[in-house]
Structure 1
Amino acid sequence: MKPPPLPPAPRPPRIDAELLPSNWWQWVAENRLRDCTPESMLQTMLAADLPRAACEAALAQIESDPVFAAARRMQQLHRKLESVLANQQRLWERVPYYERVEKRSHVSTDEFMSRYVHGCRPLVITELARDWPALSRWSAADLKQRFGHLDVEVQAERHKDRRYEQNKLELRRTVRLADFVDQVVQGGTTNDYYLTANNEMLRRPEFAPLLADIGSLPEFCDRSALSRACSFWFGPGGTITPLHHDTLMLLHTQVVGRKRWRFVSPLETPRVYNYNGVFSEVDVDAPDLARYPRFAEVKVLEVVLEPGETMFLPLGWWHQVSSLELSLSFSFSNLAFDNTFSYQNPEIQDW
């Protein structure tokens, strides 16, 4: 093992800089790592009524701080990984069909595995659910008639929380399904309430008739695992699932209504500002490029999923989904191959 380098020359005492609160020291380090200029940072600090001498001293001293120097080294390793991803993304984009989400009536298991699973490409299968009773039976009225007396868990008051999906546990409400159906039908276009995959209603025996409405599945799915690996979605037009990635692969069948899916490659992760969990800070429909400038380099794919069509979501692809009208959907991840993966997710709440 190499011995550590000789210690740097003694630094001047931190007289003025120590007047800064510790959280501002962290802010200085983080923003220098983001390559913000000392001049722009000084203006922000002065606008916060911090003493000029302390600000100038901190900006000067951070560059010779050994802890900050260690962070710069780690940053070099991080940027190498980013460059590897960026170069791979450039190769992906050279494929002639890259910008188009394919729609196909049928795909063989061999091609599904090679082109879409291992090739990591989204796909819409138009005829996968062609024999499902759900396509002719499911509706808001049917839900109310068969299951309206049962309680379900929904997300409510999403408008009051910008990070409504990240904070979904705080927005849980238990409601009678008949009342929720009425709210959806009568409430018009809104993103304020939604019965999402997190409701777990399909694990309950009372809702088993919904699973009976699911017809045949392709051979790359394991029918015996369906009840343990499926989710039900119901909400009004206007609901939005913000930009995020799942931790496994899945299929999502649109039964009633249409949804617009917008995709970003997993190789673009450094450009989507993934600060917390599996979520991005960017709204793909209205990106704030002043705040998130690197997103301007991202190529977004888009497709509208029609009733009866099934989306295959490959591993790690970022997606933002909008309901274009009242919507009932069924998603399932019971793929007949290893579909378990792990991610080291960030947990930065205050950027």
Structure 2
Amino acid sequence: MTLSPIKPPPRPRPAALLDLTPDWLLWVADNRLWDCAPASMLDTMITAGQDTETAAAAIGQIEQDPVFQAARRQQQMLRKLESVCNNLQKVWQQDPAYAVVEKRRGVGRDEFLQRYVYGCRPVMLTDIAEDWPAMKRWSPADLSARFGHLEVDVQVGRNTDTLFEQNKEKLRQRMKVSEFADLVVNGGATNDHYLTANDEMLRRPEFMPLLQDIGRMPPICDPALLHTAASFWFGPAGTRTPLHHDTLMLFHTQVVGRKRWRFVSPLQTPLLYNRMGVYSPIDLDAPDFNRYPRLREAVVLETVLEPGDTLFLPLGWWHQVSSLEMSMSFSYTNFDAGVPNEFKYENPSIGNW
């Protein structure tokens, strides 16, 4: 018979830690796990009105707390995973063409799968939309003429909420297509209003004529599935999509206007402070390196989509998008690549602590 080892009695939590409120106890643990300097932490706590002796004792004692020690063990495992990603990223970046988003024509199915899908690298296809009726037809006037009487859900008031994308449901407003087209044409450059994929207007039969304006598709797409996997984007110059990653692969064709896309590799996720869902709080257009110092290590790719360009967004790549002009775009996920375009992410829900 094998006896279980005798477990020592649990150590009581030191008195200084018991004297802290739960919020301050969490704050101390968080900042030590971030390896913040104890002296800086003490200054912050004293400035906030905490007792000097209690604060100093708590900072010193947290490392001995069993729960904190368990967190340190998990931290070691996480840092190992981060180092694996970092090393793979270093190998990826050794390719002299890594930081360049390729522009290609005439790419066949097999090459596309091997080089871009399995190779997980973005690419711009410049020949896909050459025969699309949309390229000659789509405009605010055309939308109003064909669909102006129909209503859509648009995001309005985005400038009032820094988390406009995360809170998009609160900003949803119903209006006629003609009303929104007038707002885009006459409202100037702004991020305040945008018709995005969230509306899912292309699932509605009355908007099916828009799908008839789509022609040839990339070699790994099934046109028969397009009606189940397409989205329409329409907004003024100045609209922005914050830094985030999608949960699947997609194509995005620019029909009217230009959009600037910025990308960061999924292997550099630890550098992007991803604390809520699929979003990063970082603005690549105005990076705050003081608040987010690890961002300095990230390699940012950039390209501008012109009318007729089709971007392939591979799995997990972080991207931030800005409309440089009034824009109409079409995205689709009707892949026929031999494997489902479905993936699972364990997303954080910590918030921006």
Shared fold (TM-score, shorter chain, > 0.5): yes
The answer to whether 1:348 aligns with 2:350 is yes
Structure 2 gaps of 5+ residues are none
Taking structure 1 as reference, are residues 12 and 118 closer, same or farther at Cα in structure 2, changes over 3 Å only? closer
Instruction: Tell me, yes or no, if the aligned pair for 1:129 and 1:253 is still in contact at 8 Å.
Output: yes
Structure 1 residue aligned with 2:45: 45
Residue equivalent to 1:165: 165
Residue 319 of structure 1 corresponds to 319
Contact 1:246 1:317 in 2 (8 A): yes
> Aligned equivalents of 1:288 and 1:116: distance in 2?
32
Is the alpha carbon distance of 1:47 and 1:3 closer, same or farther for their aligned partners in structure 2, counting shifts above 3 Å?
Answer: farther
Amino acid at match of 1:244: H
Unaligned runs of 5+ in 1: none
Moved over 2 A (4+): 1-13, 16-19
Match runs of 1:1-351 below 5 Å: 7=8, 13-14=14-15, 16-337=16-337, 338-351=340-353
Q: What secondary structure does 1:130 align onto?
A: helix
Cα distance change, pair 3–261 in 1 and its aligned pair in 2 (3 A)? farther
Query: Structure 2 vs 1, CA of residues 105 and 325 (structure 1 numbering), >3 Å: closer, same or farther?
Result: same
The alignment covers a number of residue pairs equal to 350
Partners of 2:47 and 2:113 in 1: CA distance:
56
> How far apart are the structure 1 equivalents of 2:109 and 2:350?
40
Bigger mean CA deviation after superposition, 232-241 or 5-14:
5-14
Write the deviation string for residues 38-61 of structure 1: whole angstroms up to 9, x where unpaired. 111111111211121221121122
SS of the aligned residue for 1:226 comes to: helix
Shift of 1:9: 9.2
Alpha carbons of 1:10 and 1:105: their partners in 2 closer, same or farther (altered >3 Å)? closer
Structure 2 distance, partners of 1:314, 1:4, is 50
The CA distance in 1 between the partners of 2:121 and 2:6, in whole Å, is: 47
Conserved? CA contact 2:235–2:327, under 8 Å: yes
- Whole-angstrom CA distance in 1 between matches of 2:343 and 2:313: 14
Q: CA RMSD of the aligned region, Å?
A: 1.7
Q: Conserved in 2, the CA contact under 8 Å of 1:234 and 1:327?
A: yes
Alpha carbons 1:191, 1:239 under 8 Å: kept: yes
Q: Is residue 197–residue 232 contact of structure 2 (8 Å, CA) maintained in 1?
A: yes
Q: How far is 1:10 from its partner?
A: 5.2
- Aligned partner of 1:348: which letter? I
1:166-207 Cα offsets, whole Å, 9 max, x none, are 111111111111111111101111011100110100001110
Structure 1 counterpart of 2:165, which letter? E
* Change in 2 beyond 3 A, CA 1:4/1:102: farther
Contact 1:194 1:236 in 2 (8 A): yes
